[in-house]
Structure formats: structure tokens, C-alpha cells
């Protein structure tokens, strides 16, 4: 009996110690600040620190929330776009949240974390490679990344996962401990490694995860070309899944529902890859089915096709492509503003 009593108290003490230790985890936790290294965490940090009043233009202005994948991240220069919008005195500003693997299934989790108001826009990019069958498995996305952005109900609705996979994630409590464990451990490692380096680690205030990469051409581009159809870029006809059960299709439906509840318009944008990507890696039936799907989406806007030399790899624009796409976005917002303005007759 004494041994059982001791074991019980040890279990209680261990549980209390774990809860106490887990309470030090979170997006703003000290060790996470030193070890932050993934796009979801950086975007959530940006959302947490966002000054809702400061980002909006004066008066009755609106925000276009750019939310999506790394392609969206690389396609738009938020700072330059807002500078031009200010100079043109347009009642619009943009705020960008683009992350690696940030396709619709994960991006839908950003909406509830942003100060979106009626009259704003939510702009989200769609790309054919994000509509593979079993996308989560193919991308090898860590389950804690899913936990970082989706709530329990949304996780339970993931068709791709088995019941056992979903239950394993749903019982992961406290959530922040599992969400930020990797980054917290990296923060501790940097501090423990500090004596060897002779200096204390510093907190990173900015990251390419909230801006963009500065590459002109990726060092792996030639290697990808040599692989040809053996590259992971290749999508066979039987690998494209445009059903409602596909993870990112579920995300689009959630975004549509959330935007309707928020009283804002959702705009889906087609940000083209290299023409070489389409010609080399997409089997003919894939592009036909994808084009048909895009033509059926009432919210879809096609952005211009940059030259192949304006991408640093097969999908992501470099500085030249980014300038072209950022310019188009400003022009598109300007046209919307003109179309929405009262006509001369109405003013009279």
C-alpha cells in the first residue's frame, strides 16, 4: 500500500511538473523566440503582433489579406505594394501571410487569427500541385504543423487521415507544448551551444517566411531538370484529386464559409508556375482537368505569366517575377476601386 501511495504521489508530481513545463511553450515563449524556424510559426507571430489600426489606410479604407503558400509569399512585395498604394491614394493596403506548404487546408486556419473587417478582401492562391491525392502524406508535413493551424473539429474532418492518426493528434495536450516543442528545443540548443561559440544567441525579428527569398536562381534547379519525370514535381493523371474530400479542397470550402461569415469577399488567384513546369511535369490529362476546375470557380482571377527566367525554381518568382505580379496586384486593386466608385452622374 505504501508503495502504491508513493507511486500515486510521484505520478501527481510528474504531471504537475509537466504542466508547469508545458506552460512555458507558446508562440511568444522565450525559447521559441530563439528557435523559431518554420513558416507557420513566423506567420502566427506576425498575426499576433499586428497593429490592426496601423495597417489600415486612413478613413474608410480596407485591407487585402494575402493568405497562401510559398508561391504567394514569393509573388508579392508587401512593403513596395503598400508604398505604391499610398502614393496613388487608394483606400487599400495589403498584409501578406504566405508560408511553406501553406495551401488551402492550412491557410484556412489563419482567417480566425486576423482582424478582418467587412469590406476587406481575402486573396488566396491555388496551384495544381496542392491538389494531389493524399497531399499531407506526399508533402511529409509534420502533424504538429497541422495542430498549429487547425482546431479539433477541422482535424477530425481530415478525410486523408485514419481515425487513429486523428485521435493521436486530438489527445496531444497541452496543444502549445506539441505545437512549439521543436522550436523550443532549438532555442534551448542555441543557448546550450552559446559557450562554444563565445556569444549569446539573438532573437530573430525578421525572416524570409514573412517576406520572401532573394534568390535569382535556386542552386538545385539544374538538378531538378536532370531528374526530368523522376522529379517529385511530376503529377500523373491518377494523382490529381479534385474531390471534396481532398485536404486542400476541404480548406477552400472552409475559407468560403469563413469569409461569408466575416462579410468579406474571397478571391482565388492563379499564380502561374514556369511554363517549363507545366510542359515537363504535368501529364496532359492533369492540365486539362485543372483548367476545367479553374474555369468553374467564380472567385478565380488569373495573374499574368512571367517569363521562365523570372522564376528562381520551377514555381517561385524571383525579384523580376515578383515585381511584375506585385504591379499587377496594384493595377487590379485600382480597377476595383474605380469600378466601385460612384459615377460622375451619381456624384452630380
pLDDT digits (tens, 9 = 90+) for 184-222: 999 999 999 998 889 999 998 899 999 999 999 999 999
**pLDDT at residue 56 greater than cutoff 50:** yes
Beta bridge partners of 299: none
Nearest to 235 by CA among 284, 189, 168: 284
On average, the pLDDT of the chain sits at 93
* Across 62-66, average pLDDT: 98
Q: What is the pLDDT of residue 6?
A: 73
Strand order in the sheet with 300-302: 92-98, 62-68, 121-126, 265-270, 300-302
Give me the phi and psi of 66, to 5 degrees please: -90, 110
Question: Which H or E run includes 121?
Answer: strand 121-126
**pLDDT at residue 326 greater than cutoff 80:** yes
**pLDDT at residue 345 greater than cutoff 50:** no
Q: What is the pLDDT of residue 24?
A: 79
Calpha distance 114→46 (Å, rounded)? 10
Calpha distance 41→73 (Å, rounded)? 15
pLDDT band at 347, cuts 50/70/90? very low
Question: b/e string for 85-119 if b means 16 or more Cβ within 10 A?
Answer: beeeebbbbbbbbbbbbbbbbbbbbbbeebebeee
Nearest to 176 by CA among 34, 41, 17, 42: 41
- Which residue has cell 479553374? 294
Question: b/e string for 5-38 if b means 16 or more Cβ within 10 A?
Answer: eeeeeeeeeeeeeeeeebeebbbebebbbbbbeb
CB count in 10 Å sphere of residue 247 = 27
**pLDDT at residue 106 greater than cutoff 50:** yes
pTM of the model: 0.93
pLDDT tens readout for residues 243-300: 999 999 999 999 999 999 999 999 999 999 999 999 999 998 999 999 999 999 999 9
Amino acid at each position: 500500500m505504501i508503495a502504491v501511495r508513493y507511486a500515486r504521489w510521484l505520478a501527481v508530481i510528474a504531471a504537475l511538473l509537466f504542466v508547469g513545463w508545458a506552460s512555458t511553450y507558446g508562440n511568444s515563449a522565450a525559447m521559441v523566440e530563439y528557435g523559431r524556424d518554420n513558416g507557420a510559426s513566423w506567420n502566427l507571430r506576425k498575426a499576433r503582433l499586428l497593429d490592426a489600426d496601423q495597417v489600415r489606410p486612413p478613413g474608410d479604407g480596407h485591407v487585402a489579406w494575402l493568405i497562401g503558400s510559398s508561391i504567394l509569399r514569393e509573388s508579392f512585395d508587401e512593403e513596395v505594394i503598400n508604398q505604391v498604394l499610398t502614393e496613388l491614394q487608394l483606400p487599400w493596403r495589403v498584409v501578406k501571410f504566405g508560408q511553406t506548404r501553406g495551401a488551402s487546408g492550412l491557410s484556412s486556419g489563419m482567417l480566425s487569427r486576423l482582424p478582418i473587417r467587412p469590406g476587406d478582401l481575402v486573396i488566396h492562391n491555388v496551384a495544381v500541385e496542392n491538389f494531389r491525392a493524399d497531399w499531407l502524406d506526399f508533402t511529409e508535413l509534420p502533424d504538429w504543423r497541422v495542430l498549429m493551424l487547425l482546431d479539433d473539429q477541422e482535424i477530425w474532418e481530415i478525410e486523408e487521415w485514419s481515425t487513429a492518426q486523428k485521435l493521436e493528434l486530438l489527445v496531444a495536450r497541452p496543444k502549445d507544448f506539441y505545437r512549439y516543442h521543436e522550436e523550443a528545443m532549438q532555442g534551448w540548443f542555441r543557448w546550450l551551444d552559446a559557450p562554444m561559440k563565445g556569444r549569446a544567441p539573438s532573437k530573430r525579428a525578421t525572416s524570409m517566411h514573412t517576406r520572401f527569398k532573394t534568390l535569382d536562381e535556386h542552386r538545385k534547379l539544374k538538378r531538378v531538370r536532370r531528374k526530368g519525370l523522376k522529379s517529385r514535381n511530376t503529377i500523373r493523371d491518377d494523382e490529381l484529386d479534385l474531390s471534396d474530400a481532398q485536404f486542400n479542397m476541404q480548406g477552400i470550402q472552409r475559407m468560403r464559409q469563413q469569409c461569408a461569415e466575416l462579410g468579406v469577399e474571397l478571391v482565388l488567384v492563379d499564380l502561374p508556375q514556369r511554363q517549363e513546369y507545366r510542359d515537363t511535369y504535368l501529364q496532359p490529362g492533369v492540365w486539362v482537368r485543372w483548367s476545367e476546375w479553374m474555369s468553374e470557380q467564380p472567385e478565380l482571377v488569373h495573374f499574368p505569366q512571367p517569363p521562365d527566367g523570372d522564376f528562381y525554381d520551377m514555381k517561385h518568382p524571383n525579384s523580376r517575377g515578383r515585381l511584375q505580379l506585385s504591379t499587377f496586384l496594384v493595377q487590379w486593386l485600382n480597377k476595383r476601386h474605380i469600378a466601385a466608385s460612384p459615377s460622375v452622374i451619381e456624384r452630380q
